[in-house]
Amino acid sequence: MRVTAVDPRHLDAGDQVDASSVRGDTGPVRTRSKAAALLALTKPRIIELLLVTTVPTMILASDGLPSLLLVGITVFGGFLAAGGANALNMYVDRDIDRLMVRTGHRPLVTGEISPRTGLVFGLLLAVSSVVWFALLTNLLTAALTAAAILMYVVGYTLLLKRRTPQNIVWGGAAGCMQILIGWAAVTGSITWAPVVLFGIVFFWTPPHYWPLSLRFKDDYAAAGVPMLPVVAPMSRVAKEIIGYSWAMALTSLLLVPAAGMTWFYAVAAVLLGGAFVAEAHGLMRRVKRGDADVKAMRLFHGSITYLALLFLAVAIDAFLPW
């Protein structure tokens, strides 16, 4: 297996490479406590990104500040659900994780956590999240949580990831479910507003993740995972990134009529969406020029900023008197 050096700043949220995995050492690494290793199974930094969308959604659903107790219940339940799904993902993918530099440090690869422990831990968190929401919010929220877990573990990890380059497109829908969960926790129902927010994150996911896949294309190829940058020329990847970026930006404007947003959100959506689309087109220009470094990670990091600022605008808009 070929191993290349990795700059830790270029990793996706929740993945950090230790020195041994960069060197390509194959021996087990046990430098963390068992508790820290179990926490690593939940990919806590990815969960942070998911929860960035949850609280603003709850604020919009409440048309102001929701109950802080309900926010705490929903955020913790979201942590249980996403953490359980992530742990089960690592359990299923432990065979290919050991083939990739980016994931070679994970606890089920290093031996810090046994496969059985990882499986039981993931199932415990997943089931607990559904029960948590059923008891403390409502059955719709619990059902959406169960659906999100199944979409990620079964739909993405088991069925799509190793079979189709569209894996992240449809698998990414699981990450959008936290929006519906947050809205349902407040209102007990689903309206067009959370569906639009869901659509924003759905279209955001490919242009967020494919630049990372470009950065680690050799990793995915070594593991036999058909991410789009592995099986398609860079020009096609850039073209699809542009298409999804435009769809995301246009969908963000639909929230104005769907949720009665003010000019504040509308201006923020136009400016942020315009900057995102411009960077996507910039990636295409660099690809067409044949640049040795197309700077794909600029779009990856920018996408995180975009999502955080857009949902911050959603939250602020709910408090404006206009």
Q: Which of 8-12, 45-49, 124-128, 269-273 shows the lowest per-residue confidence on average (mean pLDDT)?
A: 8-12
Give the angle 225-231-236 at the CA atoms, nearest 5°. 130
Q: Which two tokens stand for residue 280?
A: 């996507």
Residue 291: burial class (beta carbons within 10 Å; 0-12, 13-18, 19+):
exposed
87 near 122, Cβ under 8 Å? yes
Instruction: Give per-residue pLDDT as tens, 151-208.
Output: 999 999 999 999 999 899 988 899 899 999 999 999 999 999 999 999 999 999 999 9
User: Is residue 84 within 8 Å of 94, Cβ to Cβ?
Assistant: no
- Per-residue pLDDT tens digits for 192-249: 999 999 999 999 999 999 999 988 898 899 999 999 999 999 999 999 999 999 999 9
Return d(Cα 4, Cα 221) in angstroms, integer: 13
C-alpha 310/C-alpha 239 separation (Å) is 24
Token representation of residue 266 = 């509308």
Neighbours of 26 (CB within 10 A): 11
Q: Specify the CATH class of 33-170 in words.
A: mainly alpha
Give, in words, the CATH class of 191-322.
mainly alpha
CA angle, residues 313, 316, 321, in degrees to nearest 5: 130
- Relative orientation angle of helices 192-215 and 296-319, to the nearest 10 degrees: 160
Q: Where are the alpha helices (DSSP H) in 188-295?
A: 192-215, 217-223, 228-231, 234-259, 263-289
pTM for the full model? 0.87
The torsion of the CA quartet 102, 106, 111, 115, rounded to 10 degrees, works out to: -120
Q: What angle do CA 162, 166, 172 make, to 5 degrees?
A: 95
Give the start-to-end residue ranges of the domains of the chain.
33-170, 191-322
CB atoms under 10 Å from CB of 181, counted, come to: 29
* Cα–Cα dist 5/215, whole Å: 12
